[in-house]
Amino acid sequence: MLFTTYQLGDHLLKNRIIMPPMTRSRAANGDVATDLMAEYYSQRATAGLIISEGTQISRQGQGYAWTPGIYTKEQIDGWKKVTDAVHKQGGIIFAQLWHVGRVSHTSLQENQQSPVAPSAILADGVKVFVDPEGKGPSAGAGEMLQHSMPRELTKDEIKAIVNDYAQAAKNAIAAGFDGVELHGANGYLLEQFTDSQTNKRTDEYGGSLENRLRFLKEVATAVVNAVGKEKVGIRQAPLTTLMGAIDDNPEETYLAAAKMLNEIGVAYIHIAEADWENAPIMPAEFKEAYRKAFSGTLIYAGKYTKQRAEEAIANGWADLIAFGRPFIANPDLPYRLLNNLPLNSPDGKKFFGGSDIGYTDYPFYKN
């Protein structure tokens, strides 16, 4: 099943193996995608679908040094190099649209402003990657710092961010992407509004579950209206507690979100399972409930092996499976999985920033 084709919207995927978003922090000055990034993604174009690294929709949405944006002409032109390279290799690529919310630092914000959030709550111990000396990604000399205290968004500012998402989606299509994925996971802005412990607002964007889902609904609706529902997916992480984002009733919250997204008609939901040691396991019953709540495509990610991926698809609660770190070190991962070949091991020290080393120099399998 993992190696069969799959129809996702207007696109026939060559297999059910997905390359998920993975921040690599190698954008050039101006947060522009580079020729090196084009090579990296094109090397991995045998995936059924590539979803780009998180790509900020605005300067305000940036939380880490050297991550690419998609809100200036220069950034759009940079991404065109990437999408052209992937398409020349027969690949399909979506852009992940990202606003980090509170998970940022004043040094990354315009005029050293505070990051923004649904509520002014600090996530103690949550750090972000910054470049205090401005040396750039090739130096690989960034620094991890506690994120800055956020301020609460006004309702007018919320509306403006909804518009930023819609414009970023249009920019992504103009840059040649085949679609977009909203980053609604890992404790960033969309999840900060959704989760009960990060949203303490008392207006129509907080309090009840319906209110906490309002921002997600407005963003998803605006993006669908901008580029078409068949070109829109969303990533969620219902049981993770990354970046201090915790919901008191995750099954109730995220199944309600799935039903809402089903009504909006997005093409897929991409579910990131918690994958660290002693992480909460997502029960099969929860996955089956997701299937009942959402009639579109379901993608799962989280330390999947070939065997677990095949089982997930056979059980009916997953359509596609994303393999993260294995894709970093194995540009030909689908071929290796198909033929049960050994996998290269990724070098974690080269994940963020740096040159082609630990990025585009991993070998393809040779007989």
What CATH number is attached to the domain comprising 323?
A: 3.20.20.70
Chain Cα centroid distance, residue 299: 12
Supply the angle between the helices 35-43 and 73-88 in degrees, to the nearest 10.
30
**Percent share of the chain, pLDDT over 70:** 96
Measured CA to CA, the distance from residue 165 to residue 221 in angstroms comes to 10
Measured CA to CA, the distance from residue 272 to residue 275 in angstroms comes to 8
Confidence (pLDDT) at 140 = 60
**Structure confidence by residue, pLDDT tens digits, 1-43:** 899 999 999 999 999 999 999 999 999 999 999 999 999 999 9
Q: Please check whether residue 29 lies inside any domain of the structure.
A: yes
Closest CA to 344 of 356, 355, 331, 353: 331
Using 50, 70 and 90 to split pLDDT, how confident is the model at 281?
Answer: confident
Q: Which of 36-50, 235-249, 301-315 has the lowest mean pLDDT?
A: 235-249
Residues facing residue 96 across a β-bridge = 54, 181
Q: DSSP letters of 312-351?
A: HHHHTS-SEEE--HHHHH-TTHHHHHHTT---PPP-GGGS
Token pair of 171 as six digits: 């920019």
Q: Please check whether residue 120 lies inside any domain of the structure.
A: yes
Q: Please check whether residue 358 lies inside any domain of the structure.
A: no
Closest CA to 263 of 221, 204, 319: 221
Q: Please check whether residue 361 lies inside any domain of the structure.
A: no
Q: Please check whether residue 23 lies inside any domain of the structure.
A: yes
Q: Please check whether residue 332 lies inside any domain of the structure.
A: yes
pTM of the model: 0.96
Token pair of 93 as six digits: 């690529």
Q: Does the pLDDT of residue 336 top 90, yes or no?
A: yes
Q: Average the pLDDT over 251-264 and give the result.
A: 98
Contact criterion met (CB below 8 Å) for 207 and 155: no
Token pair of 115 as six digits: 């990051």
- What radius of gyration, in Å, describes the C-alpha atoms of the chain? 19
Mean residue pLDDT of the chain comes to: 94
Report the catalytic residues. Answer: 188
Using 50, 70 and 90 to split pLDDT, how confident is the model at 108?
Answer: very high
Token pair 């049960």 in the structure block, residue: 340
Q: Average the pLDDT over 169-196 and give the result.
A: 97
By residue range, what is the domain housing residue 14?
Answer: 6-350
Measured CA to CA, the distance from residue 59 to residue 219 in angstroms comes to 18
Total count of domains within the chain = 1
Q: Average the pLDDT over 148-163 and give the result.
A: 98
The pair phi, psi for residue 198, each rounded to 5°, is -110, -10
Confidence (pLDDT) at 241 = 82
Q: Please check whether residue 140 lies inside any domain of the structure.
A: yes
Judging by DSSP bridges, how do beta strands 11-13 and 6-8 pair with one another?
antiparallel
Confidence (pLDDT) at 129 = 84
The pair phi, psi for residue 143, each rounded to 5°, is -140, 140
Q: Please check whether residue 363 lies inside any domain of the structure.
A: no
Q: Does the pLDDT of residue 141 top 70, yes or no?
A: no
Confidence (pLDDT) at 119 = 98
- Tell me the three state secondary structure of residue 367: coil
Q: Does the pLDDT of residue 135 top 70, yes or no?
A: no
Q: Give the single-character DSSP code of 32.
A: B
Chain Cα centroid distance, residue 90: 22
Q: Average the pLDDT over 239-265 and give the result.
A: 93
